[in-house]
């Protein structure tokens, strides 16, 4: 105990933040007085170091090396500065959202960069992550930092690092930066400038908006009624400006969630995927009364790099159905092909040559391995190349020749030449263009999903996401699956069980398991797939499920969807039992 308390005192002595100093001092005094809860809390905070990896840093705010705080951020910035100086330095662009401590972390990063002899520039105010990703290449920067925890709970914050190509870091850069961080000595030896960084003006945002508006075709349909929520984040002003510049009517904004609020008071988790997160948006959409509601509902997560869409559904209690990330991913892909924005031999729903996997110089579609296999079929039918990647846009954005990439967690890259990352603003513009065009034909997004199912088969996906308080439970579940892999799931034989930790020529090693399942003629199932992996940003074990069924005609769609739902439910139950979660 004496060593632990000495660590705490040493940390307090160099902590520049009065908030976390006071927090730790209170815990220290309680621990010295014999309070077991305080001692346990300190032991957890000082039981290691928050790990810097391909997601940068992300964790709960608070004092100590296992929390997000100014000490950890200054050390991370000093490590990044050392990495950049060894490679001739350059400009570092820094963005931040409206979470607790985001501005402090951004300013500290600027102070470290200038103190290290590098140039630094801060975005003018809290802005979406895609604006920062765009600014890196627009300004010719050597690197970028975005202070955000995206859709994590309010007690979290994070530190996302990009290099000069505008993409998030991947190995070996993450390990090299981590080594530089580990080599940082006492905080007092890290030079911190009081001034000298540039505060960027509105011209950076203007350039982003001009680029964003260019994702939609000029002169196209624009009549569309949209309800929008920024989920208490920073997306509202940017999305409204992008809609206006592209010629769309202003969306109706969910008033309770319009202003940035780091406490996210109306939601348990500020993530459109979470149960209840969209309730206020649906309530806003329903205020127009039957037949007078909006055409679609759009949501961004708090840093606006993700985009969620809901469509009218009379069968739902709210009157609305959230599209799964895979459904929106397929819709956007189909729209890009049909509108001619992505090259290829033909349309996504039947006019193409089919079968051609593309070649050098052609547009490439890409999706992570946990996303639906439908995108590969859309690409093939259109004569486009397709590539699987590991989870995360740090991998998707690096696909050579990328024209469009997505992953099922509501992330879409529709303009990789502008933003080499997921971008919830441009995705919202593109889905608005698609919905408006369909509206002129008296059709909807749901109609286009039916058309895709008739052409390529019904690709139904779902997810089992187990949030845990103890991370060791995730380790135990993965070990259990590796030791006793299932031979069948939902009555479908496991035909291939891949441990993705081994890596392959096609994919780098990652902590994940992939099961390919046989078809079932009795239920009319062509194939199914399950991928299991720990979340990279939250304490969750995630299981990604897909079942594919052929559909003969429109009349067969309801029965196919019912069968798919049953098989997905069985897959959930069986993989949960196999993993022990």
Catalytic residue, chosen from 150, 167, 178, 372, is: 150
Using alpha carbons, select from 395, 401, 400, 385 the residue that is nearest to residue 421.
Answer: 395
Per DSSP, 195 falls in state S
What is the dihedral angle through the alpha carbons of 321, 325, 326, 331, rounded to the nearest 10 degrees? 70
- Mutual orientation of helices 202-213 and 236-246 as an angle, nearest 10°? 50
DSSP assignment of 124-146, as one string? Answer: SSS--HHHHHHHHHHTT-SEEEE
Say how far apart CA 305 and CA 427 lie, in whole Å.
9
As given in the structure block, the two tokens for residue 364 are: 């490439």
As given in the structure block, the two tokens for residue 19 are: 């908030």
Per DSSP, 50 falls in state P
Per DSSP, 231 falls in state T
Residue 221's alpha-carbon distances to 216, 224, 430, 432, 543, in angstroms, are 10, 8, 12, 9, 39
- Please check whether residue 467 is in contact with residue 539, taking contact to mean a CB–CB distance below 8 angstroms: yes
- Please check whether residue 408 is in contact with residue 371, taking contact to mean a CB–CB distance below 8 angstroms: yes
Degrees, nearest 5: CA angle 138-144-150: 110
Say how far apart CA 44 and CA 522 lie, in whole Å.
53
- Name the 3-class secondary structure at 193: coil
Say how far apart CA 420 and CA 162 lie, in whole Å.
10
- Please check whether residue 381 is in contact with residue 342, taking contact to mean a CB–CB distance below 8 angstroms: no
373 assigned to active site: no
Say how far apart CA 319 and CA 317 lie, in whole Å.
6
Say how far apart CA 192 and CA 42 lie, in whole Å.
28
- Please check whether residue 410 is in contact with residue 231, taking contact to mean a CB–CB distance below 8 angstroms: no
Q: Residue 262 is inside which H or E element, if any?
A: none
Say how far apart CA 495 and CA 152 lie, in whole Å.
36
Residues known to be catalytic: 150
């Amino acid at each position: 105990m004496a060593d632990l308390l000495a660590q705490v005192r040493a940390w307090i002595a160099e902590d520049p933040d009065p908030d976390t100093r006071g927090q730790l001092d209170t815990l220290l005094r309680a621990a010295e007085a014999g309070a077991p809860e305080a001692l346990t809390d300190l032991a957890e905070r000082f039981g290691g170091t928050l790990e810097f990896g391909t997601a940068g840093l992300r964790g709960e705010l608070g004092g100590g090396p296992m929390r997000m705080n100014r000490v950890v951020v200054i050390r991370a910035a000093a490590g990044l500065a050392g990495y950049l100086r060894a490679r001739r330095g350059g400009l570092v662009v820094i963005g931040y959202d409206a979470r607790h401590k985001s501005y402090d972390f951004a300013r500290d990063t600027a102070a470290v960069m200038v103190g290290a002899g590098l140039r630094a520039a801060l975005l003018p105010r809290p802005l979406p992550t895609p604006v920062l990703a765009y600014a890196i290449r627009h300004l010719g920067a050597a690197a970028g930092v975005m202070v955000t925890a995206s859709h994590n709970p309010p007690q979290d914050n994070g530190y996302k690092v990009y290099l000069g190509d505008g993409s998030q870091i991947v190995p070996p850069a993450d390990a090299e930066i981590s080594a530089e961080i580990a080599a940082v000595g006492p905080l007092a030896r890290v030079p911190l400038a009081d001034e000298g960084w540039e505060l960027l003006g509105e011209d950076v945002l203007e350039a982003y908006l001009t680029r964003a508006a260019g994702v939609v075709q000029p002169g196209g349909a624009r009549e569309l009624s949209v309800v929008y929520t920024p989920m208490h984040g920073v997306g509202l002003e940017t999305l409204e400006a992008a809609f206006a510049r592209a010629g769309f009517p202003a969306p109706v904004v969910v008033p309770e969630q319009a202003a940035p609020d780091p406490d996210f008071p109306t939601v348990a988790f500020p993530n459109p995927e979470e149960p209840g997160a969209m309730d206020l948006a649906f309530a806003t959409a329903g205020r127009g009364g039957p037949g007078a509601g909006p055409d679609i509902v759009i949501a961004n997560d708090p840093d606006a790099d993700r985009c969620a869409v809901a469509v009218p559904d009379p069968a739902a209690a709210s009157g609305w159905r959230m599209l799964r990330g895979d459904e929106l991913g397929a819709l956007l892909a189909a729209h890009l092909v049909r509108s001619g924005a992505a090259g290829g031999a033909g349309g996504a729903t039947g006019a193409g040559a089919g079968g051609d996997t593309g070649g050098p110089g052609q547009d490439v579609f890409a999706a992570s391995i946990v996303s639906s296999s439908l995108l590969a079929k859309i690409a093939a039918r259109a004569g486009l190349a397709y590539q699987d990647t590991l989870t995360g846009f740090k991998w998707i954005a690096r696909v050579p020749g990328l024209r469009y990439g997505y992953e099922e967690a509501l992330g879409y890259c529709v303009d990789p030449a502008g933003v080499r990352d997921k971008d919830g603003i441009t995705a919202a513009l593109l889905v608005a263009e698609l919905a408006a065009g369909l509206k002129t034909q008296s059709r909807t997004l749901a109609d286009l999903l039916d058309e895709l199912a008739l052409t390529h088969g019904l690709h139904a996906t779902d997810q089992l996401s187990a949030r845990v308080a103890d991370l060791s439970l995730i380790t135990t579940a993965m070990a259990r699956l590796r030791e006793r892999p299932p031979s069948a799931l939902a009555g479908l034989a496991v035909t291939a069980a891949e441990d993705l930790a081994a890596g392959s020529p096609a994919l780098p090693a990652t902590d994940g398991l992939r099961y390919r399942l046989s078809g079932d003629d009795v239920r009319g199932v062509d194939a199914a797939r399950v991928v299991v992996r720990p979340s990279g940003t939250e304490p969750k074990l995630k299981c990604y499920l897909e079942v594919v069924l052929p559909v003969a005609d429109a009349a067969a769609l309801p029965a196919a969807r019912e069968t798919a739902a049953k098989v997905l439910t069985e897959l959930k139950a069986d993989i949960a039992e196999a993993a022990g979660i």
